[in-house]
Amino acid sequence: MQKRRAGAYRRGESGAEAEGRNAELGQTIAISIDAMGGDHGASVIVPACVIALKTLPPNVQLMLHGDEAQVRAEMARCKAPAERIVVRPAERVIGMDEKPAQALRRGKGTSMWGAVEAIRDGEAAAAVSAGNTGALMAISKLILRMSMDLDRPALVASIPHASGLVTFLDVGANVDCDAERLVEFAIMGEAYHRAANGVARPTVGLLNVGSEEMKGHEEVREAHRVLREGRLDLDYRGFVEGDDITKGTVDVVVTDGFTGNIALKAMEGAARFVTAELRAALTSGPISTAGALLAGRSLRRFKERMSPPPAAPLLGLNGIVLKCHGGAGAADFAKAIQVAVNLAQSGFAAEIERNMTRLPAALAEVGPAVADGAA
């Protein structure tokens, strides 16, 4: 595989510049993969690559970073199409329990480091890893740098509702957020939702304790004013409440990382509780078990809907990095690869940059916050 394939970010190049160049080239898109990350490593990730390549366009190639002997053995076992996979040897693996600082010190030479570095070096359009979240965030920030003044990349979750998915951010990376940071999340989340879910004009809401104008703390109310009055190119619908997330009231729900992480874990806990109670009810006796067998297809669909999303992108980096769930199986990791390809082919980075250039003027136009004393 040659360097500087289409879809790759050159060092120091903006997302908009990369996407313009890639459109002109129209060449192979390479997706860089940490083949050793997660709970299962190559034994799941290589089969996931085989699954993904069956439906991906022929111009997509995968670059696997990891133990070469182990990766090639899995490729042989799965009858992987070798012409569409490049193996990059990596000497070490970052453990799932390693602290970010430790991961940075020993990161070079690991499968995760190599996967992210391929974006910086212009060899890949995106990277996917199921490894340690904190380590992936730290390594990605160090290698790719931030495209804006974020403390850390924003973590995104896709929450299911009756007719689709809600993009929910930040879910834990940036705990303290001022109004400007919340507006940045809205810009990034809206562009991501359009690219990942094919929605032409995503609607955006700001999470609050109520829908009334006077509700919430100062940062939330100030972000609301900027989004409402700042003439940003967003379909902003105002405040939304916690139950609106799973109702699908808007496509994108924005909050700070502290609130978002609590909300996400509460929803995950509720989903596990409902699933466990349903399983217990359906196995409580022979009649219930027989009914469960008859409803097997519907129950499988229910389990899929309640499962966590396959991947969460780290938004705000100079490049596309996706974090897949550590315990993901081959089918879910294959879906994460598809999301990476969708993002690499989209113009979402250019859209983010375009709206970010409008943000200073929007802040100046709205002016200083008007203290109304509400809380």
Tens of pLDDT, residues 7-66: 444 444 544 454 444 444 457 899 999 999 988 999 999 999 999 999 999 999 999 999
Q: Which two tokens stand for residue 12?
A: 């120091």
Neighbours of 79 (CB within 10 A): 8
- Start-end of CATH 3.40.50 domains in the chain: 1-147+317-346
Residue 371, phi then psi, degrees to nearest 5:
-70, 115
CB distance 318 to 15 below 8 Å: yes
CB atoms within 10 A of CB 2: 8
How sure is the predictor about 367, in pLDDT bands with cuts at 50, 70 and 90? Answer: low
How many Å apart are CA 91 and CA 68, to the nearest integer? 9
* Residue 145 to residue 159: CA distance in whole angstroms: 28
Q: Could you give the 3-state DSSP secondary structure of residue 364?
A: helix
By residue count, the chain amounts to 375
- pLDDT tens digits, 154-176: 889 888 887 888 999 998 888 88
Give residue for tokens 């699933």: 275
Cα separation, 89 vs 114, whole angstroms: 9
Contact 148, 312 (CB under 8 A): no
**Cross-strand partners of 236:** 204
What is the structure's pLDDT at 299? Answer: 67
pLDDT higher than threshold 60 for residue 105 = yes
Least confident of 27-41, 108-122, 151-165, 177-191: 151-165
Model confidence at 180: pLDDT above 80:
yes
Residues 6+ apart with CB under 8 A from 185: 154, 169, 170, 177, 254, 255
Cα 63 off chain centre by: 19
| 333's tokens | 């990791």
Percent of the chain with pLDDT over 90: 44
Q: Say if CB 132 and CB 101 are below 8 A apart.
A: no
| Pair 231, 366: CB distance under 8 Å | no
CATH architecture of 1-147+317-346: 3-Layer(aba) Sandwich (3.40)
Q: Please indicate whether residue 114 or residue 284 has the higher confidence score (pLDDT).
A: 114
The ranges of the chain annotated as CATH 3.40.718.10 are 158-308
| Strands 311-315, 154-161: pairing kind | antiparallel
CATH superfamily of 158-308: Isopropylmalate Dehydrogenase (3.40.718.10)
